[in-house]
Amino acid sequence: MGAAILLLSILGFVLLVLLSASVKVIQQFERGIVFRFGQVQLNSVRGAGLTAIVPIMDRLQKVNMQTVAMGVPAQDGITQDNVSVRVDAVVYFRVIDPVKAIVNIQNYGWAVSQVAQTSLRSVIGKADMQQLLSERAVINQELAMIIDEMTEDPWGIRIERVEIKDVSLPEGMKRSMARQAEAERERRARIITADGEYQASKRLAAAAHELSKDPASLQLRLLQTVTEVAAEKNSTLVMPLPVEMLRFFDKMAGGSEAHAVVEEEPIEEPPPLASADDVPPVAANNEFAAVEAAQEDHAAAIADETTDDDTTDDDTTAGERRDTVPPKTVPPKTEPPGTVPPKP
């Protein structure tokens, strides 16, 4: 009776060990691959839950199906425009075929990291610095396509996304870009200031035209200016001078006769600038050359006319001198005494 109980106890323990070895639990984010005597069972990919295998014949290996975020170490490279940069990225991938991920590649995580590093260096060499800084979406998409082409079909790993995290530039390049940006901001500020001054000059010209219609308005404006200056606490002394006095001096000097009133042609006012980018480009070098050539031709023509006038004046002066010089008087010949005149 005691031997039977012992035998049953041994059998129960063996069955319990076999049962614990044959029953496996697979998590929701995992898949199980069964190897029977070292050969993978293609139709026996186990899903989440409880699963049973033959204890000695089968071996269950679990594969994580979650998306993995893996950082790519920083890579040094030279862009297409010969600028040395240092770029690092991050790769998001997941396993879509657990059999290929286990059978075709030994360590798919390390393999994806190596492929990402080589692909990142290749993309850096094909792009220029401006694309790396401003067109990262295009670079990320191209990099994801290159890595996914090498990993999805043979390894069963899909690259979901690739992001470039940081682009490190040399210090000299950073200083050059900062100077360029500062110069651009200064250019826009100057253009906006010049446009404001131009519009203000138009307004001032219109105000002066309106004030010139009534002389009393100028006097009122002068008194207003004196009031504004006197309101401040300063040591400025303002001496108002009537405008009529200036006009009197102008008439006495003959300025009114010398300066005739000429109706000026209206100048077409350019449209106001909405932004600094609307400024027309500067004239090209050939336009400047044409203007300089026209100026030189005009100066040469003026010089030729001056030379001709001087020559004409010299000829006229010489002719007048010849006319004023009296003709020379030739004295008659006298024969010495005792000389017989010749016969005709």
Cα–Cα distance measured from residue 45 to residue 21, given in angstroms and rounded to the nearest whole number: 18
Domain co-membership, 165 together with 175: no
> For the segment 217-232, what is each residue's pLDDT rounded down to a tens digit?
877 877 787 777 776 6
**Which CATH number is 133's domain given?**
3.30.479.30
Handedness of CA 57, 106, 143, 66 (dihedral sign): positive
Residue 108, Cβ density class (10 Å: 0-12 exposed, 13-18 middle, ≥19 buried): buried
Using CA atoms, how far residue 187 sits from 67, 173, 174, 276, in Å, is: 49, 21, 20, 8
Domain co-membership, 159 together with 177: no
In a domain, 109, yes or no: yes
Cβ atoms 177, 154 nearer than 8 A: no
Handedness of CA 270, 276, 280, 283 (dihedral sign): positive
Domain hosting residue 135, numbered range: 68-169
In a domain, 165, yes or no: yes
Q: Quote helix, strand, coil % in the chain, to nearest 5.
A: 55, 15, 30
Last residue of a domain, one of 25, 40, 64: 64
Domain co-membership, 107 together with 51: no
In a domain, 34, yes or no: yes
Domain co-membership, 78 together with 159: yes
Domain co-membership, 54 together with 72: no
Higher pLDDT pick, 113 / 320: 113
In a domain, 340, yes or no: no
Cα–Cα distance measured from residue 95 to residue 108, given in angstroms and rounded to the nearest whole number: 9
Own/partner pairs, 244-250, CB within 8 angstroms, 24+ separation:
244/215
Percent of the chain with pLDDT over 70: 70
In a domain, 50, yes or no: yes
In a domain, 4, yes or no: no
Which of 114-118, 177-181, 255-259 is modeled with the greatest confidence? 114-118
> For the segment 119-142, what is each residue's pLDDT rounded down to a tens digit?
999 999 888 888 888 888 899 999
**pLDDT above 70: residue 200:** yes
Residue 144, Cβ density class (10 Å: 0-12 exposed, 13-18 middle, ≥19 buried): buried
Domain co-membership, 42 together with 85: no
Cα–Cα distance measured from residue 39 to residue 57, given in angstroms and rounded to the nearest whole number: 10
In a domain, 27, yes or no: yes
Domain co-membership, 178 together with 156: no
Domain co-membership, 165 together with 185: no
The phi and psi torsions of 233 (rounded to 5 degrees) equal -90, 85
Domain co-membership, 153 together with 177: no
In a domain, 97, yes or no: yes
The phi and psi torsions of 207 (rounded to 5 degrees) equal -65, -40
**Residue 194's pLDDT is what?**
92
Domain co-membership, 86 together with 164: yes
Q: How many domains does the chain have?
A: 3
Domain co-membership, 79 together with 164: yes
Domain co-membership, 110 together with 75: yes
